[in-house]
């Protein structure tokens, strides 16, 4: 499979904790004006001046959130950062710094950690954020990654989950469901590999959906784009747990209902093909599959003309009074109540 076989193995204990941190963080640059002091003291020092600071944190556990059988460590490092930045973009803020804590069992050589940090460094460059601190320690089992992301925004720019109003349009960026089906393909290949380790998988037909799973990007462009279009969403959230779950978050916090239209869901053609191959309903995947890291937001009907025809945005529904509930309107025009985390429920 895609697993990388390291030739060289340097035992982590050869460097010691301080040597290890120094070695792993040597490529980190400071670029953000708000980073007053980075790695190297008891704490980093940040200066946001008149801006608000936003902060979000995620804990990723091997065997729960990722499987190193098909997730190369460099991709994992990259994705761990992206997942956190997505939360900052979902506030309509600009990410500026992260802290990175890593715990590893002694089965990981230095070279493995270097790969992980290569991915982290690449993401930090790509998104122009500073790595300002962290912690490196040993674990009893597996790899554990904890990242805290920090960002900044003017107060007037911030968008919360609770501002959606009845009649607002529900908009999603990009396409959805692909990350989930990418995972299904990788899981299937893992099974094949376990039966026959010499099997060379042909993954050409799955490149897009696999990339959505292994190397997702956060939508850093949307903040700039919305600003240029002079659209401020009334609410916003990122799609990490699946569309239905995130719609319900917005509805509950904004005290509104929602009609989501099945025929409007933006699906990549590759996703549709793979769903047919797996004999899975693509709507179910699009609604309940997670990890797309697209942004879901609501805008006033008055702003519709500003986003109409923009290939980054798809209007997938509209908000209703809370009393009308939260529904999926199917192609056959029947209304089904939308449930959170419905993947297992729908298939169980």
> What does the binding site for a copy of itself look like in residue numbers (CB under 8 A)?
16, 18, 36-37, 40-50, 52-59, 61-65, 87-88, 90-91, 93, 97, 99, 101-103, 132-135, 137-142, 144, 146, 148-151, 155, 158, 160-162, 236-238, 253, 340-341
CA separation for the pair 227, 229 (Å, rounded)? 5
Closest CA to 282 of 293, 294, 292, 269: 269
Question: Is 327 marked as a binding-site residue?
Answer: no
CA Rg, the chain, in Å? 21
47 is in an annotated binding site: no
DSSP secondary structure letters along 221-249 = HHHHHHHHHT---SEEEE-SS-HHHHHHH
Task: Indicate the residue among 87 and 262 with the shorter CB distance to a copy of itself.
Answer: 87
Q: Which is nearer to a copy of itself, 282 or 342 (CB)?
A: 342
- The single-letter DSSP state of residue 62 is B
CB of 90 to a copy of itself, least distance (A): 4
Least Cα distance to 135 among 28, 26, 16, 18 occurs for: 18
Q: How far is the CB of 55 from a copy of itself (least distance, A)?
A: 5
Smallest distance from a copy of itself to CB 262, Å: 25
Is 204 annotated as a binding-site member? no
Find the shortest distance in angstroms from Cβ 268 to a copy of itself.
25
- 305 assigned ligand-binding residue: no
Residue 223 marked as a ligand binder = no
The minimum distance between CB 185 and a copy of itself, in angstroms, equals 24
CA nearest to 66, candidates 52, 82, 79, 55: 79
The smaller minimum CB distance to a copy of itself, of residues 29 and 135, is found at 135
What tokens does 8 get? 């060289």
> Phi, psi (5° rounding) for residue 85?
-65, -35
Nearer to a copy of itself, 146 or 178 (CB): 146
In whole angstroms, give the CA distance from residue 213 to residue 194: 21
**Minimum CB distance to a copy of itself, residue 337 (Å):** 18
User: Contact at 8 Å (CB) between 222 and 173?
Assistant: yes
Residue 286 or 296: the one with the smaller Cβ distance to a copy of itself is 296
Shortest Å, Cβ 302 to a copy of itself:
24
In angstroms, how far is CA 79 from the centroid of its own chain? 7
Calpha distance 7→71 (Å, rounded): 18
Task: Please tell me whether 241 is known to bind a ligand.
Answer: yes
How far apart are alpha carbons 217 and 178 in whole angstroms?
13
Instruction: Give ∠ CA 318-323-325 in degrees, rounded to 5.
Output: 55
Residue 291 assigned ligand-binding role:
yes
* Smaller CB separation from a copy of itself, 33 or 40: 40
Please tell me whether 161 is known to bind a ligand: yes
Binding site for substrate, by residue number, is 65, 291, 343
Binding site for ATP, by residue number, is 134-135, 161, 240
Binding site for Mg(2+), by residue number, is 42, 56-58, 87, 135, 238, 241
């Amino acid at each position: 499979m895609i697993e990388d076989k390291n030739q060289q193995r340097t035992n982590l204990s050869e460097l010691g904790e301080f040597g290890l941190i120094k070695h792993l963080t040597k490529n980190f640059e400071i670029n953000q004006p708000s980073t007053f002091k980075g790695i190297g003291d008891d704490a980093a020092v940040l200066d946001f001046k008149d801006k608000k600071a936003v902060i979000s944190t995620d804990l990723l556990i091997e065997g729960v959130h990722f499987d190193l059988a098909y997730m190369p460590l460099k991709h994992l490092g990259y994705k761990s950062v992206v997942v956190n930045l997505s939360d900052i973009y979902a506030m309509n803020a600009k990410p500026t710094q992260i802290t990175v804590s890593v715990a590893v069992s002694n089965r990981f050589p230095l070279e493995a950690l270097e790969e992980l940090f290569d991915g982290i460094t690449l993401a930090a460059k790509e998104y122009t954020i500073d790595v300002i601190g962290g912690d490196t320690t040993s674990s009893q089992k597996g790899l554990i990654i904890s990242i805290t992301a920090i960002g900044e925004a003017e107060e007037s720019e911030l968008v919360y989950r609770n501002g959606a109003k009845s009649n607002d349009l529900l908009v999603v960026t990009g396409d959805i469901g692909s990350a989930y089906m990418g995972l299904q393909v990788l899981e299937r290949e893992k099974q094949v590999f376990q039966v026959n380790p010499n099997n060379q998988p042909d993954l050409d037909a799955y490149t897009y959906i696999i990339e959505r799973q292994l190397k997702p990007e956060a939508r850093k462009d949307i903040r700039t784009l919305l600003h240029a279009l002079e659209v401020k969403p009334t609410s916003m959230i990122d799609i990490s747990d699946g569309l239905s779950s995130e719609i319900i978050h917005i509805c509950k916090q904004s005290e509104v209902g929602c009609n989501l239209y099945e025929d409007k869901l933006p699906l990549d053609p590759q996703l549709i093909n793979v769903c047919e191959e797996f004999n899975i309903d693509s709507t179910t995947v699009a609604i309940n599959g997670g990890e797309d890291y697209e942004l879901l937001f609501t805008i006033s009907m008055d702003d519709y003309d500003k986003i109409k025809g923009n290939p980054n945005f798809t209007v997938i529904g509209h908000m209703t009074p809370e009393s009308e509930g939260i529904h999926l309107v199917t192609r056959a025009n029947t209304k089904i109540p939308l449930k959170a985390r419905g993947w297992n429920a729908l298939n169980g």
